[in-house]
Amino acid sequence: MGDDKYLVEMLNIHKWFAGVCALRGVDFAIGYGEIVGLVGDNGAGKSTLIKILSGFYPPDEGKIFFEGEEKHFSSPREARKLGIETIYQEAAMVPKMSIMRNIFMGRELLSFRMGPVGYLDIPRMEEESMTALQKVDLKLRSPHALVDELSGGQRQGVAIARAMYFKSRLVILDEPTNNLSVKESQRVLEFIKELKKQGISSIFISHNLYHVYPVADRIVILSHGEKIGDFRKEETSVEEITRLMILP
C-alpha cells in the first residue's frame, strides 16, 4: 500500500537506457493541490522521471501509487485516464489545427452516437472552448483560430485550459517557460497558480529558479539520477537550491 495522503507517490524508481543509469532509486511524492518544482542540471533525470509518471516508459524498478493504490501504466493514455496530464513546450498542441480541435482532441463531444458512428457537436465544443479559455483569462479571437497563430505563452494557456476542462488531477509541465518572454513566462506562472486554486496538483520543471521558487510549495532537486534535496519552500532559499544544483 502507498500512503494516501499523497495524490501520487513514486518509490525507489530506477531507469536505465542502454547501460546509462538515468534514475537510481528516486522517491518522489506530490500532495493534493500541491505545486512541486522539479529542478536539476541537464541530464539529471527530470524528464525521465515525469515520463515514467505519465506512462511513456515503465520504470525498470520501483513502484507508483495513485491515491494510495499501486498502478502500472502501460501507455500515456492510461495515466491520462486517471487525470495525469503532461504538457510539453513543443508537443502540447497541433499547430495546424484550431484551438477548439486541440482542446477536444481525442475527447470530442458528440451530439449523437450510434455504435461507432457519431456526429461532432461543434456548437457545444465552440462554446465550451471559449468558457474554458475564459477560466484562465485567455482572450482569444475565436475557437477556430489556428494554434499556429498563438504565442508560446498562449499555447501553454490553452493546454492548461484543456487540463482544467477535463478535470485533470495532476498537470505536469516540462519547461513550460522555455523560450518565452519575461511577460509571457509570468502569465504561465499565473496559469499554474490558477490550477492550484482549482485543487489541481502540478509538477513544474524548469532551469529558471526565479520561475520555480515563487510558485512552488515544495522543491525537489535531482542530480545524476538521484534525489539530493526535497524541501518545503519556507525551509530553503534560491541560494541553497542553486548551491545544491551546481555541486559536481
Ligand X SMILES: Nc1ncnc2c1ncn2[C@@H]1O[C@H](COP(=O)(O)OP(=O)(O)OP(=O)(O)O)[C@@H](O)[C@H]1O
Shortest Å distance, C-beta 41 to ligand X: 7
SS3 144: coil
Our finding on whether 89 is near Mg ion (CB under 5 A) is no
Cβ proximity to ligand X, 2 vs 59, nearer residue: 59
- 64 has which bridge partners? 10, 71
Judged by CB under 5 A, does residue 47 bind Mg ion? yes
Query: In the complex with ligand X, which residue's Cβ is closer, 46 or 169?
Result: 46
Q: How far apart are CA 49 and CA 191, in angstroms?
A: 23
- The residue (of 47 and 236) whose beta carbon lies closer to Mg ion is 47
Q: Give the whole-angstrom CA distance, residue 226 versus residue 104.
A: 37
The helix (run of H) or strand (run of E) holding residue 65 is strand 61-66
Rounded Cα distance, 93 and 90, in Å:
7
62 contact, one of ligand X, Mg ion, none, CB 5-8 Å limit per kind: none
Give dist(CA 159, CA 85) in Å, integer: 9
Query: Under DSSP, is residue 100 helix (H, G, I), strand (E, B) or coil?
Result: helix
Cell 529558471: give the residue.
208
Our CB check for ligand X shows the closer of 71 and 207 to be 207
Distance, CA of 157 to CA of 161 (rounded, Å): 6
Q: Which of 29, 30, 48, 221 binds ligand X (CB under 6 A)?
A: 48
Tell me which DSSP letter residue 192 carries: H
Among 25, 31, 33, 43, indicate the residue that binds ligand X (CB under 6 A): 43
Strand order in the sheet with 6-17: 20-31, 6-17, 61-66, 69-71
User: What number of chain residues touch ligand X (CB under 6 A)?
Assistant: 11
Give the nearest distance from C-beta 46 to Mg ion in angstroms. 5
> Residues 2, 37, 40, 143: which binds ligand X (CB under 6 A)?
40
The closest alpha carbon to 174, from 28, 39, 74, belongs to 39
Binding residues among 83-102 for ligand X as defined by CB under 6 A: none
Work out whether 177 is an interface residue with ligand X (CB under 6 A).
no
Using the rule CB under 6 A, give the single segment among 15-23, 120-128, 146-154, 161-169 that binds ligand X.
15-23
For residues 147 and 91, the answer to whether their CB atoms sit within 8 Å is no
55 binds, among Mg ion, ligand X, none (CB under 5 to 8 A by kind): none
Least Å from the CB of residue 207 to Mg ion:
9
Of 16-24, 75-83, 134-142, 192-200, the segment contacting ligand X by CB under 6 A is: 16-24
Residues at the contact surface with Mg ion, assessed by CB under 5 A: 47
Q: Site residues (CB under 6 A) for ligand X?
A: 17, 20, 22, 40, 42-48
